[in-house]
């Protein structure tokens, strides 16, 4: 019997890892709780060059570009705190410049579309099982067992929790730790998730008042801000971020559809461009949701034969565009580290596996923590009409933002991981530098502009 991985969750991290394991003929099964693998929930996600490079290695990038087309070449529109609107058309968009430097643009895509691309790319689709809600995980000396709600049991060498911010695998990992090794996890870790903002996100038909050409809108108001981007199919991705009192754990509110509609109507008159209101966007909605934006990088991601990845381990603010990218990166680092250990033997001991997991967390923790801080800084400076916010939004962002953000975006990509045993793609004549071991980019903190990266990408 070879090495077997049980992936829980058909998320971006889960399906990315499945593709990676398949490339190296490592046995796996993926268990998804929902009835379909790629539901349309109204969510979009940003992909940066580092994440796109890994998707390219897996053979998924061409399909992403085919779907997105020229929608990624956004012209910017800014609505400042004082109501002034800046439309500054540029000879080359930010994404075109980024493509020249890294080989890849900045891309936004339906989360559903990316999940479908990852699933379609798999050769052994029968290894992906839906309606498999995990209820219990048990670790033993030589294996791990996963029990699902329908009465089935799956046995493997490791289980990977890729099941999102409210991960069942993470809860089972904590339970295993408390029962067999008290002190392995912080006693208050289940209360560590916090939120100080909420967001209505959605996908709308393009309002007739907006141009058909690709556009990115950033509009700033006291207590809230909007980001809107052209989407394939003559649609619009959009986010309304709003400040709220900080909450933790179970105190964090869950919202109803009525809550969402009431909040949206309250801001219908917000002028997001010279000729478009938020009401115009919302009334053209196709899918929407209102959620609290929970954030946290957990102190420990693994225990014995269990590891968490993606939002189950490091949940960051969506304004960083690093949630999905971070999930892909952690999957890649896990695959690389496993392969090095499996070179010697197909049967790893419990200690071997914990060593692998510890190395994964060591390589990824600082970068995930940096993304968390970026999100918090950006949320604060974008939703509060303060002197610092006006300085940033009125002067730094319009006049210096692109150059600083470009430099940071390139550095971010150059310090990101790759799949070390697959060819590195060359796009637009560029073979982007990479790092096997990822560290927090030192220079961005030194000049104090790391948070700028998040406001545009």
- pLDDT at position 321: 78
**Across residues 59-71, what is the average pLDDT?**
95
**Across residues 108-112, what is the average pLDDT?**
95
Confidence of residue 23 (pLDDT cuts 50, 70, 90): very high
Cβ atoms of residues 268 and 230 within 8 Å: no
List the domain boundaries for the chain. Answer: 4-188+296-456
Segment 325-347, tens digit of pLDDT:
999 999 999 999 999 999 887 78
**Across residues 370-377, what is the average pLDDT?**
81
- pLDDT at position 439: 37
Half-sphere CA count of 93, side-chain side, radius 13 A: 22
Cβ atoms of residues 7 and 28 within 8 Å: yes
Alpha carbon distance 229, 99 (integer Å): 18
- Within 8 A by CB and 6+ apart from 37, the residues are 10, 15, 115, 116, 119, 128, 130
Q: Which of 18-22, 45-49, 343-347 has the lowest mean pLDDT?
A: 343-347
Confidence of residue 441 (pLDDT cuts 50, 70, 90): very low
Quickly list H helices, 237-349.
257-266, 278-283, 323-342
- pLDDT at position 442: 39
**Across residues 210-217, what is the average pLDDT?**
92
Q: Residue 369's closest CA among 320, 303, 331?
A: 320
Alpha-carbon distances, residue 167 vs 9, 24, 161, 296, 432 (angstroms)? 9, 27, 7, 13, 34
How many whole angstroms from its chain centre is CA 377? 17
Q: pTM here?
A: 0.90
- pLDDT at position 401: 67
Half-sphere CA count of 269, side-chain side, radius 13 A: 1
- pLDDT at position 457: 35
**Across residues 429-443, what is the average pLDDT?**
57
**DSSP H or E stretch at residue 18:** helix 12-23
Confidence of residue 1 (pLDDT cuts 50, 70, 90): low
Confidence of residue 188 (pLDDT cuts 50, 70, 90): confident
- pLDDT at position 436: 57
Alpha carbon distance 407, 101 (integer Å): 10
**Across residues 163-188, what is the average pLDDT?**
90
- pLDDT at position 352: 94
> Is pLDDT above 50 for 398?
yes
- The highest-confidence range among 99-103, 154-158, 323-327, 381-385, by mean pLDDT, is 154-158
> Is pLDDT above 80 for 5?
yes
The better pLDDT of the pair 238, 181 is held by 238
- pLDDT at position 148: 98
Confidence of residue 354 (pLDDT cuts 50, 70, 90): very high
SS3 label, residue 455: helix
- Within 8 A by CB and 6+ apart from 455, the residues are 218, 319, 378, 382, 397, 401, 405
**DSSP H or E stretch at residue 275:** none
Alpha carbon distance 316, 370 (integer Å): 10
Alpha carbon distance 270, 221 (integer Å): 8
Alpha carbon distance 442, 438 (integer Å): 11
Confidence of residue 182 (pLDDT cuts 50, 70, 90): confident
> Fold for domain 4-188+296-456?
FAD/NAD(P)-binding domain (3.50.50)
- pLDDT at position 443: 36
User: Average pLDDT, whole number, for the chain?
Assistant: 88
What pairs with residue 227 in β-bridges? 218, 239
**Across residues 418-431, what is the average pLDDT?**
89
The better pLDDT of the pair 381, 189 is held by 189
> Is pLDDT above 80 for 445?
no
Q: Residue 161's closest CA among 34, 303, 310, 332?
A: 310
- pLDDT at position 418: 94
- The highest-confidence range among 80-84, 304-308, 388-392, 424-428, by mean pLDDT, is 304-308
Alpha carbon distance 434, 415 (integer Å): 5
Confidence of residue 385 (pLDDT cuts 50, 70, 90): low
The better pLDDT of the pair 407, 419 is held by 419
Segment 279-293, tens digit of pLDDT:
999 999 999 999 999
- pLDDT at position 43: 86
> Is pLDDT above 60 for 453?
no
Alpha carbon distance 284, 305 (integer Å): 47
Alpha carbon distance 131, 36 (integer Å): 8
- pLDDT at position 391: 77
């Amino acid at each position: 019997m070879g090495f077997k991985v049980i992936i829980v969750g058909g998320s971006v991290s889960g399906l990315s890892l499945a593709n990676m394991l398949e490339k190296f003929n490592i046995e796996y099964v993926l268990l998804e709780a929902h009835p379909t693998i790629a539901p349309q929930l109204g969510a979009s996600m940003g992909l940066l060059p580092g994440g796109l490079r890994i998707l390219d290695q897996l053979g998924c990038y061409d399909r992403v570009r085919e779907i997105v087309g020229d929608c990624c070449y956004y012209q910017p529109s800014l609505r400042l705190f004082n109501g002034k609107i800046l439309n500054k058309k540029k000879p080359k968009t930010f994404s075109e410049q980024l493509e020249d430097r890294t080989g890849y643009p900045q891309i936004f895509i339906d989360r559903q579309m990316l999940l479908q691309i990852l699933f379609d790319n798999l050769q052994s689709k029968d290894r992906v099982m839906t309606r498999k809600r995990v209820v219990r995980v048990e670790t033993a000396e030589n294996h791990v067992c996963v029990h699902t709600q329908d009465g089935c049991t799956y046995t493997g060498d490791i289980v990977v929790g890729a099941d999102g911010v409210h991960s069942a695998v993470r809860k089972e990992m904590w339970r295993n730790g408390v029962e067999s090794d008290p002190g392995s996890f912080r006693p208050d870790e289940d209360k560590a998730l916090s939120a100080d903002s909420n967001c209505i996100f959605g996908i709308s038909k393009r309002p007739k008042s907006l141009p058909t050409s690709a556009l990115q809108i950033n509009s700033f108001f006291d207590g809230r801000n909007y980001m809107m981007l052209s989407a394939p199919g003559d649609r619009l991705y959009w986010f309304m971020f709003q400040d709220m009192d900080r909450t933790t754990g179970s105190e964090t509110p869950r919202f109803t559809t009525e809550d969402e509609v009431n909040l949206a109507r309250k801001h219908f008159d917000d002028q997001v461009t010279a000729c478009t209101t938020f009401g115009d966007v919302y009334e053209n909605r196709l899918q929407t949701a209102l959620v609290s934006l929970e954030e946290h990088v957990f102190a420990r991601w693994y225990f014995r034969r269990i590891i968490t990845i993606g939002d189950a381990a490091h949940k960051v603010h969506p304004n960083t565009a690093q949630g999905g990218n971070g999930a892909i990166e952690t999957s890649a680092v896990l695959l690389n580290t496993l392969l090095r250990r499996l070179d010697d033997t197909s049967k790893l001991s419990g200690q071997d596996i914990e060593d692998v997991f510890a190395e994964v967390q060591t390589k990824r923790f600082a970068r995930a923590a940096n993304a968390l801080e970026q999100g918090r800084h950006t949320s604060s400076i974008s939703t509060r009409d303060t002197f610092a916010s006006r300085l940033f939004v009125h002067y730094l962002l319009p006049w210096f933002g692109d150059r600083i953000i470009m430099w940071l975006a390139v550095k971010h990509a150059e310090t990101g991981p790759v799949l070390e045993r697959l060819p590195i793609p060359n796009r637009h004549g560029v073979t982007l530098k990479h790092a096997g071991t990822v560290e927090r980019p030192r220079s961005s903190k030194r000049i104090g502009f790391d948070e700028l990266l998040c406001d545009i990408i």
